Amino acid sequence: MKVLYLKLNRALFLLLFLPLLSFGQQKPNVVMIYADDLGYGDLSAYGATKINTPHIDALANQGVRFTNGHSSAATCTPSRYSLMTGKYPFRKTGTGVLPGDAALIIDQGQMTLPELFRQQGYETAIIGKWHLGLGSQVEKNWNESIKPGPLEVGYNYSYIFPATADRVPTVFLEGHRVVGVDPNDPIEVSYKQKIGNEPTGLENPELLKMKASPSHGHNQTIINGIGRIGWMTGGLQARWVDEEVTMTFADKTIQYIRENAKKPFFLSYHATEPHVPRMPSTMFKGKSGLGYRGDAILQLDHTVGEIVQALKDKGIYENTIIIFTSDNGAVLDDGYVDGAVTQLNGHNPFGPYRGGKYSAFEGGTRVPFIISWPKGIKKQQVSDALVCQMDLLSSFANFFKKPLSSQDELDSENIWNALIGKDKKGRDFLVQSAGTFSITKENLKYIKPSKGRAFNELTGTELGNHPEDQLYDLSKDPGEKDNIAKQNPKAVAELKELLENVLK
């Protein structure tokens, strides 16, 4: 009787609790692949003919490829701030492009995208570029524990470099500490004045393996034969080599997937490609025929393939949501002589759009935006829904059926049905930040008047600044060549009022 009683109890336990366990196991993993300065036209999935990106194209074929997907800003730090917080970057001061020694700009305790997942029982990790500041102040000791940082705003694990590859310090941080730091060779960093006796690009150009473009500022401390922004001394053992950065991040990412395959995870892989300095690993140099920028895009595509394969090897690919997008649009000459301009060979990184990184025109924020989820999203969809990266926070909160107490403070909107291809409209409107502000609603885009310069000679970018109102019908004029503001005063007035209400 005792044995029969135990068997009945076990059967009852399985009957009652296995469905709950099954539901828990069905939580999808989420992998966010965030490229850096990748343009709308840089992928063969988006029409590129001079470069082939088969692994990213495969993601597009597996799910939804958005043709009207946006970052919130035309530069990296503000876009990343919005992605994390669900807020427009202009809501907070100090969200411009940060120096490498900046303090953390995300308020601890506020809801963030990784924190949302963490509260749902997910493991959370970021591997790659950070560029949202570290520590509570600019002055920090790089040889000791540095916090707050990613671990204080939602991530359980982090392996990052602090800012961008062209800024010092050129080191990795795992958790709170610089990897490989030697106490006998302490790291010092300055963005105010030269420190130490190390050669600089300005004083010792003969030591450079990649020359800096004139007047861009990449002529300070030379590290790995490349002049950087900012001065650094010490930490010779801790400094990374450009050609090994992506492989290091990729290895860490694959290792993370293997170690966490049995539990749901949210993994942010923030790539450095194709941001400057473009110095891909040897296996990709010269492979694209488009200079180092093209080679870097091939390296990015290869890494995406490696990540997908790691998911497949662990049997979790089918139930993994993969989001692929970029922090802003493309730029060619962004500080180094690397063949991006001279070896373009007919490639058009901007697609049909005007401007690029730094610009209020569409090329500044309209970026590749792909979502795949074999178990939950229909294949081979193309959507013109208006979607923005900062909407991921509210959309996933809706997916988890978790009301956000701070929703009224957020600019993030629940567009979950658009993200999975079931709604072709998306947002009602979107405000974008560059040198000036713009607002897009349906087919019309309004750009606020600005006294800023119209053209950046250093990067060769039309910035979209103009002293008068600009209005474009993107359905007829995606290249924003025909300003129809004077012919449509009512539309201008309506969009101007809507924009000002948002800015307030």
What per-residue confidence (pLDDT) applies to 62? 97
The one-character DSSP state at 435 is S
Closest to 63 (Cα-Cα) out of 422, 428, 427: 422
**Tens of pLDDT, residues 79-89:** 999 999 999 99
The one-character DSSP state at 24 is H
Distance CA 284, CA 281 (A): 6
- 424-428 contact pairs (CB < 8 A, 24+): 424/383, 424/384, 424/385, 425/385, 425/386, 426/68, 426/383, 426/385, 426/386, 426/387, 427/385, 427/386, 427/387, 427/388, 427/391, 428/386
**227 φ, ψ to 5°?**
-75, 140
What per-residue confidence (pLDDT) applies to 427? 98
How many residues in the chain? 504
- Burial pattern 323-359, b for ≥16 Cβ within 10 A else e, equals bbbbbbbbbbbbbbbbbbeebbeebbbbbebbbbbbb
Per DSSP (E only), the strands in 135-264 are 157-161, 173-174, 177-178, 188-190, 222-223, 226-227, 231-233
Torsion sign across C-alpha atoms 357, 358, 363, 365: positive
Cβ neighbours, 10 Å, residue 487: 10
What is the pLDDT tens value at each position of the chain, 504 positions in all?
Answer: 444 444 444 544 444 444 333 334 489 999 999 999 999 999 999 999 999 999 999 999 999 999 999 999 999 999 999 999 999 999 999 999 999 999 999 999 999 999 999 999 999 999 999 999 999 999 999 999 999 999 999 999 999 999 999 999 999 999 999 999 999 999 999 999 999 999 999 999 999 999 999 999 999 999 999 999 999 999 999 999 999 999 999 999 999 999 999 999 999 999 999 999 999 999 999 999 999 999 999 999 999 999 999 999 999 999 999 999 999 999 999 999 999 999 999 999 999 999 999 999 999 999 999 999 999 999 999 999 999 999 999 999 999 999 998 898 999 999 999 999 999 999 999 999 999 999 999 999 999 999 999 999 999 999 999 999 999 999 999 999 999 999 999 999 999 999 999 998
The one-character DSSP state at 146 is -
The one-character DSSP state at 99 is P
What per-residue confidence (pLDDT) applies to 52? 98
> Is the preceding omega at residue 169 within 30 degrees of 0, hence cis?
yes
What per-residue confidence (pLDDT) applies to 26? 83
What per-residue confidence (pLDDT) applies to 300? 99
Give CA separation, 497 vs 5, 90, 112, 446, 502, in Å. Answer: 72, 17, 30, 11, 9
Asked if 233 and 221 count as a contact pair (C-beta separation under 8 A), the reply is yes
